[in-house]
Amino acid sequence: MTDNKNLVALQQQIEADITQLFAAEDEGLQYTLAAAKEAGLPQIQISPIQGKFLQFLAAACQARKILEIGSLAGYSGIWLARSLPASGRLITLEVNPRHAEVVSNSFARAGVDNRAGVRVGKALDLLPQLASEAPFDLVFIDADKQPYPQYLDWALRLTRPGSIIVADNCIRGGTALHESKDEATAGLFEYNRRIASDPRLVSLALPMDDDFTDGYAIAVVRS
Ligand code: SAH
Ligand code: DHB
Ligand code: MG
């Protein structure tokens, strides 16, 4: 084996061991993955470690209201909803009605439908309707990549000092850390550049997925 192969094998072992120790999936999460596969949805949900990290961040900011942009089958939504107190609320936005139907079933099966609901439509059409439900304590961005900078504008409008804004896929093998001709990648880079330099935020990109080649960019709204 080359050194690179040894390194990747070690990274994968570390990820598997951390997952087993800290981020085991319960029946509701496993059901959601099976239902997503059955419905032919793409397998692009966050990893268990990323799910546990969302719960960590929600606990750190004492989240009672959470907004998610991009639901897919509801996998990340269940991790988020489970971090909420009984009176808390998760709103997740999803453009694809077929995905949203899987989400509703998954939330019911996981027992979080009392505090989590999916809204169907383009995020940029739905976000202006959320002002009366703001401020959100945590916003998780994981939909189409090109508009990430616009999602950031909305996240800043809909949060408070101390809120946390998380965005997935902000490393993408390193491509999201540079200028790009690809529109999706350019959106991710513009997002990173803005959160890195916005004086209202304390921000960091964190490799934690896909053998540490992808991950979240996290930002805390300063007090
Ligand atoms: N957060 C999910 C994965 C989301 S995948 C998880 O980890 O479990 C991205 C999702 O965003 C897809 O379901 C896709 O249909 C949705 N999406 C793409 N463009 C969108 C838009 N403009 N508005 C709302 N949802 C969108
Ligand atoms: C894709 C989207 C995601 O949000 C992700 O985490 C991985 C892949 C995609 O569109 O291919
Ligand atoms: Mg993603």
Instruction: Confirm or reject: Cβ of 168 under 6 Å from ligand 2.
Output: yes
Residues in contact with 183: Cβ distance below 8 Å, sequence separation at least 6, in sequence order: 146
Neighbour tally for 178: CB within 10 Å: 10
Per-residue pLDDT in tens (0 to 9) along the chain, 223 residues: 568 889 999 999 999 999 999 999 999 999 999 999 999 999 999 999 999 999 999 999 999 999 999 999 999 999 999 999 999 999 999 999 999 999 999 999 999 999 999 999 999 999 999 999 999 999 999 999 999 999 999 999 999 999 999 999 999 999 999 999 999 999 999 999 999 999 999 999 999 999 999 999 999 999 9
Name the token pair of 165.
Answer: 């804004």
Looking at the CA of 46, name the nearest ligand: 1
Quote the ligand 3 centre to 163 CA distance (angstroms).
20
Task: Provide φ and ψ at 57, rounded to 5°.
Answer: -65, -40
Q: pTM to 2 decimals?
A: 0.98
Neighbour tally for 101: CB within 10 Å: 15
Instruction: Confirm or reject: Cβ of 90 under 6 Å from ligand 1.
Output: no
Instruction: Using alpha carbons, list the distances in angstroms from residue 142 to 20, 39, 107, 200.
Output: 24, 20, 18, 22
**Residue 28 in contact with residue 111, Cβ under 8 Å?**
yes
Distance, in Å, from the CA atom of 73 to the CA atom of 37, rounded to the nearest integer, reads 9
Looking at the CA of 213, name the nearest ligand: 2
Quote the ligand 2 centre to 223 CA distance (angstroms).
32
What single-letter amino acid sits at 76? S
Quote the ligand 2 centre to 44 CA distance (angstroms).
5
Instruction: Confirm or reject: Cβ of 98 under 6 Å from ligand 1.
Output: no
Looking at the CA of 147, name the nearest ligand: 1
> For atom 6 of ligand 1, which residue has the closest CA?
45
| Ligand 1 atom closest to 70 (CA) | 11
> For atom 7 of ligand 2, which residue has the closest CA?
44
Looking at the CA of 75, name the nearest ligand: 1
> For atom 12 of ligand 1, which residue has the closest CA?
72
Q: What is the pLDDT of residue 90?
A: 98
SS3 readout for the chain: CCHHHHHHHHHHHHHHHHHHHHCCCCHHHHHHHHHHHHCCCCCCCCCHHHHHHHHHHHHHCCCCEEEEECCCCCHHHHHHHHCCCCCCEEEEEECCHHHHHHHHHHHHHCCCCCCEEEEECCHHHHHHHHHHHCCEEEEEECCCCCCHHHHHHHHHHCEEEEEEEEECCCCHHHHHHCCCCCHHHHHHHHHHHHHHHCCCEEEEEEEEECCCCEEEEEEEECC
| Ligand 1 atom closest to 51 (CA) | 7
Percent above pLDDT 90 for the chain: 98
Name the token pair of 177.
Answer: 């850390």
Distance, in Å, from the CA atom of 37 to the CA atom of 34, rounded to the nearest integer, reads 5
Q: What is the pLDDT of residue 1?
A: 58
Instruction: Confirm or reject: Cβ of 35 under 6 Å from ligand 1.
Output: no
